[in-house]
Amino acid sequence: MIKAIFFDIDGTLLSHTTRSVPYSTQIALQHLKEKGIYTFIATGRHISEMVDLPIHDLEFEGYITLNGQYCYNRDGIIYDLPIHSHDIHNILKLIDKHPFPCIFVEKELMYINYHNDAVQIVQDAISTPLPDIQDINRAYSHPIYQVIPYDITSQKENIILDIMPHCQKTRWHELAIDIIPKTGGKQNGIREVLKHYDIQPEETMAFGDGHNDIDMFEFVGLSIAMGNATQELKEVASDVTDDIDHDGIYNALVKYNILQKD
């Protein structure tokens, strides 16, 4: 019996073709709530970004954000895991010597050192405004949960990871990566949330479309890749549904008898 379902945002809940949440998905979420099934966001995004997206008026039980590093519900924080300060100091020093645009993500703030064409391209691709420019040296004295370097080649990616030994990366765009603690990830955040709600992994389901959903898919009981998902995610998924613009979430929930077709 499915007691909780986790949803990625971009390409899963939110279509960047229509820049909206499909109506069928909105109906599905409403029916899941009526059935008493918990619904959770599981995303790489920050809380401040979600306010500006057309998901802000949808109701969820809780949120696994920053790829599992910051998890909360309406009552407060369930779990958080910042990046080791040694790694943050190292990337700040690297940027000072060899500048590249990079977002630093705190609990309530996210900010970047500067914008360039790569930042504009990536932000346009995810329907999100350019991040605020601030002095990134504040990261020396504030907990950082995620960093997002832009305009990063594979060679630069390896240099960054070499100086951040407590971290791992996820590439979600050809021009951007997410860097989080090595012991983090959506799977880790979901594990802590399930402990809080006394739910077993086999009683859960997840929907996603990208590389940062792989560890989530390997943890939950039933994993559904969107039709528009990457091939590597489809290969680890329990099943593949239709794409986001063809009622993928709703159709999968009906297929597995979690919802009845209207």
Using one digit for the tens of pLDDT, what is the confidence trace for 132-173? 999 999 999 999 999 999 998 888 899 999 999 999 998 888
**Once rounded to an integer, what is the mean pLDDT over residues 117-145?**
94
Q: What is the pTM of this model?
A: 0.87
Map out the domains of the chain as residue ranges. Answer: 4-81+184-255, 85-181
Give the C-alpha separation, 115 to 240, whole Å. 37
Is pLDDT of 128 > 90? Answer: no
What pLDDT score does 142 carry?
97
At 106, is the secondary structure helix, strand, or coil?
Answer: coil
- CATH 3.40.50.300 fits domain 4-81+184-255: no
- Give the pLDDT score at 51: 82
Domain 85-181 = CATH 3.30.1240.10:
yes
Question: Helix 248-255 and helix 23-34: axis angle, to 10°?
Answer: 40
Angle, helices 85-97 vs 154-163, to 10°: value is: 130
Query: Encoding tokens for residue 220?
Result: 């939950």
Mean pLDDT of the chain: 95
Please say if the pLDDT value at position 213 is more than 90.
Answer: yes
As given in the structure block, the two tokens for residue 201 are 């992994």
- What distance in Å separates the CA atoms of residue 11 and residue 91, rounded to the nearest whole number? 30
Give CA 174 to chain center in angstroms: 17
Q: Give the whole-angstrom CA distance, residue 51 versus residue 47.
A: 7
Confidence of residue 224 (pLDDT cuts 50, 70, 90): very high
Q: What angle do CA 61, 241, 34 make, to 5 degrees?
A: 30
Checking DSSP bridges between strand 102-105 and strand 146-149, what pairing results, if any? Answer: antiparallel
For the stretch 40-76, pLDDT in tens is 999 989 888 888 888 888 999 999 999 999 999 999 9
Instruction: Please answer whether residues 176 and 112 qualify as being in contact, where contact means their C-beta atoms are separated by less than 8 angstroms.
Output: no
Per residue in 17-32, pLDDT tens? Answer: 998 999 999 999 999 9
